Structure 1
Amino acid sequence: MANNKYNILWIDDEWDKMTTFQRECEELYGLYLEPYRTRKAGMEALERNIDHWDAVLLDAKMFDENDNETASLTGLGKAKQRLDELSIRRAIPYFISTGQPDLISDKNFKDLFGDYYIKGNDDVKLVDDMLKAIENSDSQQVKTIYKDVFEGMDKMGVRSYVEPILMDILLPLHYPAKEPNFKPAYHYNQLRQLLEYLFRACNKVGLVPDQCMTDGRVNLNQCSLYLAGKDAEKSGVRYGEKGERIVPEYVESIIRSILEFGNIHSHTVELEEDDLQKIEGIFRTAQSRFIIFGLTLQLCETIIWFSEYIPKHDDKEVNLLLCYELQREESKKSEEDGATKYLNREFVPVKDEDDIWHCEECYVKISSWESGKMVLTEISHNIDKRTNAKYPFFARFKKIYK
Structure 2
Amino acid sequence: MSNIYNILWVDDEHNDEALLPFIVQAESQGIIIDGYKSFKEGFTVLESNLNKYDVILLDALFYEDETSETPNPAGLGSAIQKINELRSRKSFPFFVLSGQTHFTDVTNPILEAFKIRCYNKKNPDDVKELLLNIKIEADNQIVTQIRHENQLLFNVLKEYPDEVRDTFITILRNQKEGNNQFDDQLYFTQLRIILEHLFRKANSIGLLHDACVQQGNNQVNLTESSLFLSGFDTKHFNVNCTMTHFPKLIAENVKNIIHTTGAASHTSNVDVTQNIDIQAYRTEITSPYLLYSLAFQLMDVLIWFDGYSKTNSDIATNRSYWKNFNKDQYGNKIEVETIINIAGNGWGTVAINKGTKNISIHKDAITQNNLGIGDQIEFVVKDNSTAQNITKI
Q: Same fold (TM over 0.5)?
A: yes
Within 5 Å, give how 1:336-351 maps onto structure 2.
Answer: none
Closer, same or farther in 2 for the Cα pair 1:49/1:75, shift >3 Å? same
Q: How far did 1:188 drift?
A: 0.8
Task: Give the CA deviation at 1:232.
Answer: 0.8
Query: Corresponding residue for 1:382?
Result: none
Q: In the TM superposition, what are the counterparts of 1:164-175 in structure 2 within 5 Å?
A: 164-175=166-177
Aligned residue for 1:216? 218
| Alpha-carbon separation, structure 1, partners of 2:272 and 2:220 | 23
TM-score (norm 1): 0.73
What is the letter of the counterpart of residue 196 of structure 2?
Answer: E
1:218-255 per-position Cα deviation (integer Å, ceiling 9, x unaligned): 21111012122322121211233xxx843234323322
Amino acid at match of 2:189: N
Residue 356 of structure 1 corresponds to which residue in structure 2? none
Q: 1:190 offset after TM fit, Å?
A: 0.5
1:158 is matched with 160
Per-residue deviation at 1:11? 1.1
Give 1:106's aligned residue: 107
Could you tell me which residue of structure 2 aligns to residue 12 of structure 1?
Answer: 11
Q: Please name the residue that 1:139 is paired with.
A: 143
Q: Quote how far apart the aligned CAs of 1:81 are.
A: 1.9
Q: Does the 8 Å CA contact 1:153/1:307 hold for their aligned counterparts?
A: no
- Give the one of 360, 366, 375 matched to 2:364: 375
Alpha-carbon distance between aligned partners in 2 of 1:335 and 1:184, rounded to the nearest angstrom: 41
Equivalent residue, structure 2, for 1:321: 320
Whether 1:301 aligns to 2:300 is yes
Structure 1: gaps of 5 or more residues: 337-360, 380-385, 398-402
Contact 1:237 1:325 in 2 (8 A): yes
**Bigger Rg, which one:** 1
CA–CA distance in structure 2, aligned partners of residues 362 and 107 of structure 1: 84
What is the 5 A alignment of 1:359-374? 364-366=339-341, 374=363
Aligned length: 355
Aligned to 1:251: 250
42 and 158 in structure 1: CA distance in 2 versus 1, 3 angstrom threshold: closer
| 8 Å CA contact retained: 2:26, 2:131 | no
Aligned residue identity for 2:365: L
Cα distance between partner residues in 2 of 1:35 and 1:378: 80
The one-letter amino acid of 1:96's match is V
Distance 1:310 1:259, change over 3 A: same
Per-residue CA distance 1:265-317 (angstroms, 9 max, x = gap): 95459x9xxx68768x9458883422111111121122233233333433333
Code of the aligned partner of 2:223: N
**Alpha-carbon RMSD:** 4.1
Counterpart amino acid of residue 81 in structure 2: Q
Q: TM-score, normalised by structure 2?
A: 0.74
Is residue 61 of structure 1 aligned with residue 88 of structure 2?
A: no
Sequence identity, in percent?
A: 24
How far is 1:44 from its partner?
0.9
Point out where structure 2 has 5 or more consecutive residues left out of the alignment: 348-361, 369-373, 381-385, 389-393
Question: 2 CA distance for matches of 1:132 and 1:311?
Answer: 35
> Taking structure 1 as reference, are residues 196 and 396 closer, same or farther at Cα in structure 2, changes over 3 Å only?
closer
